[in-house]
């Protein structure tokens, strides 16, 4: 399971059907709104930005989507029931967000008041026309200020189907996508066998949000729990956001259309050897990737000390592992990757920096942002290009043992940006990179060179367990990216 642009998904054409959610309730809460819940810090900020952007006639737009395959002729009734059971199971998907008395509230709709209507859409004869339709469909249908906050459908063929779900970020995160696939597929397959899987509510993200607000809403800028953030800011010259250290050719205060691209870094065998090289110096694979990123940024003209943001899951080991929601805290990380350090020394620095970060994971990013950078918090976007690193090992996600059968993939999209973000995924096919960055000539050159250098660096680590060969930014260009053929994805000879 990997993340790449939806436009690059070589999905076989077919007949598109969608399932549209509606409520049978007259209203979702009483006159006093007693059933309303408070949004999380992440959700509150996301909703507020959407409101302000709409008011300024400068709407923001983004979505997270997942696709997966069903073998054989689709049983539409069984999939309808599986999708409805999935929505009923997760309270956050049944919520409508609205502003009440200055606060963002979410009003859950009761599970038995939801209905799915099947709506035939159109038939497509080419993969290109189908991909264009889905991209445009997600752009039009996903709206932070309108319920429902996701869309569901399938591409039907005689002997197979591709199921898709696209969500607003306010109700989910990247690690929710494997949960979507595992739940919908498992219930669908059980129904096709004539079984009635029990519907047990998952622990609610709304309960997580309530607990988080109870613990952190009352803190102020002098709270000792903000000491890690304060020291990070002080070492960064007073800046809350760690800057992306390479030139992207952007103007201050301006947003740009995006480039969304993905490319492989290591194949399955190389990724295994890479992980062993990381373990040999007491590190983990994600630490090795982060070390390689830091070295490549430094070699391209960045500083010897790596400073960046890193999203960290807040699901924990048990309570929320099967729940859909925005369980992400964004944390700053810092470590020394100065010239002359070998792979083991850089890895030791990454390990120490990560340990220090995890030791202060409790304070929510949005709360730290609001308290320590209030002027920037009032803006609708991050103030300048920010250094951002994300890594997920998809082999450890729920349902991973069936990914070769289901062939799931995730897709992210944003209308505009003012910097660069990169996500790394490890799956059974290897190590992959997906980047979204500003569409400027300078940024295209910078990111092309960076990705070429990073590919050489992780391969050097895999082959020799070292950084001894200097990374030249005049490396040969990588081969042209080709669409992912879903029929072959995950199938081994």
CATH of domain 2-209: 3.30.559.10
For residues 1 and 493, what is the distance between their CA atoms, to the nearest angstrom? Answer: 18
**According to the model, what pLDDT value does residue 277 have?**
96
Dihedral through CA 269, CA 272, CA 274, CA 275, nearest 10?
170
Whole-model pTM: value is 0.92
pLDDT at 469 over 50: no
pLDDT at 25: 80
Percent above pLDDT 90 for the chain: 85
Q: Token digits for 420?
A: 């660069």
pLDDT in tens, 171-226: 999 999 999 999 999 999 999 999 988 777 789 999 999 999 999 999 999 999 99
User: What is the Cα–Cα distance from 135 to 2, expressed in whole angstroms?
Assistant: 18
Exposure letters 262-290 (e unless 16+ CB within 10 A, then b): bbbbbeeebbeebbebbeebebbbbbbbb
Report the CATH number of the 219-480 domain. 3.30.559.30
Query: C-alpha distances in angstroms, 100 versus 34, 208, 301?
Result: 12, 20, 48
Mean pLDDT confidence for 129-158: 95
Query: Nearest Cα to 22, choosing from 152, 140, 166, 161?
Result: 152
Q: How far apart are CA 184 and CA 85, in angstroms?
A: 8
For residue 408, the surrounding DSSP H or E stretch is none
Residue 292 · residue 271 · CB < 8 Å = no
- Looking at the chain, the domain(s) classified CATH 3.30.559.10 span 2-209
Q: Which residues contact 332 (CB under 8 A, 6 or more apart)?
A: 228, 229, 232, 242, 307, 308, 309, 310, 357
Q: Which residues pair with 62 in a beta bridge?
A: 414
pLDDT class for 485, splitting at 50, 70, 90? Answer: very low
Distance, in Å, from the CA atom of 229 to the CA atom of 356, rounded to the nearest integer, reads 11
């Amino acid at each position: 399971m990997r993340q790449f642009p939806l436009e690059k998904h070589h999905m076989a054409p077919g007949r598109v059907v969608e399932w549209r959610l509606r409520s049978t309730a007259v209203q979702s809460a009483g006159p006093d709104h007693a059933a309303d819940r408070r949004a999380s810090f992440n959700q509150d900020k996301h909703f507020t930005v959407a409101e302000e952007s709409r008011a300024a006639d400068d709407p923001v737009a983004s979505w997270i989507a997942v696709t997966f395959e069903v073998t054989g002729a689709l049983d539409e009734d069984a999939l309808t029931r599986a999708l409805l059971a999935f929505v009923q199971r997760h309270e956050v998907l049944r919520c409508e967000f609205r502003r009440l008395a200055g606060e963002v509230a979410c009003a859950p709709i009761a599970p038995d008041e939801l209905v799915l209507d099947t709506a035939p859409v159109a038939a497509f004869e080419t993969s290109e026309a189908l991909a264009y339709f889905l991209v445009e469909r997600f752009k039009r249908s996903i709206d932070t200020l309108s319920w429902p906050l996701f869309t569901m459908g399938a591409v039907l063929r005689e002997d197979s189907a591709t199921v898709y779900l696209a969500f607003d970020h306010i109700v989910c995160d990247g690690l929710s996508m494997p949960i979507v696939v595992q739940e919908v597929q498992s219930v669908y397959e059980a129904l096709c066998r004539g079984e009635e899987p029990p519907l047990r509510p998952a622990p609610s993200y709304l309960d997580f949000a309530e607990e988080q607000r109870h613990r952190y809403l009352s803190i102020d800028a002098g709270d000792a729990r903000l000491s890690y953030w304060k020291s990070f800011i002080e070492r960064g010259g007073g800046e809350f956001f760690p800057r992306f250290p390479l030139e992207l050719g952007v103007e201050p205060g301006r947003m740009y259309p995006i480039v969304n691209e993905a490319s492989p870094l290591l194949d399955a065998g190389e990724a295994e050897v890479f992980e062993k090289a990381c373990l040999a110096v007491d590190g983990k694979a994600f630490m090795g990737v982060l070390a390689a990123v830091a070295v490549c940024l430094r070699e391209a003209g960045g500083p010897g000390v790596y400073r960046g943001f890193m999203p960290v899951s807040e699901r924990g080991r048990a309570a929320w592992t099967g729940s859909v929601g925005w369980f992400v805290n964004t944390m700053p990380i810092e470590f020394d990757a100065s010239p002359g350090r070998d792979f083991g020394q850089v890895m030791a620095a990454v390990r120490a920096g990560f340990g220090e970060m995890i030791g202060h994971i409790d304070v929510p990013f949005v709360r730290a942002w609001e308290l320590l950078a209030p002027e920037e918090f009032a803006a609708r976007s991050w103030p300048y290009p920010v250094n951002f690193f994300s890594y997920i090992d998809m082999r450890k996600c729920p349902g991973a043992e069936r990914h070769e059968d289901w062939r799931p993939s995730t897709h992210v999209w944003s209308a505009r940006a003012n910097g660069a973000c990169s996500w790394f995924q490890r799956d059974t096919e290897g190590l992959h990179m997906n980047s979204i960055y500003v569409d400027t000539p300078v940024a295209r050159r910078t990111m092309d060179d960076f990705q070429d250098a990073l590919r050489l660096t992780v391969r050097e680590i895999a082959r020799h367990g070292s950084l001894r060969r200097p990374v030249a930014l005049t490396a040969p260009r990588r081969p042209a990216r080709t669409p992912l053929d879903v029929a072959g994805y995950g199938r081994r000879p």
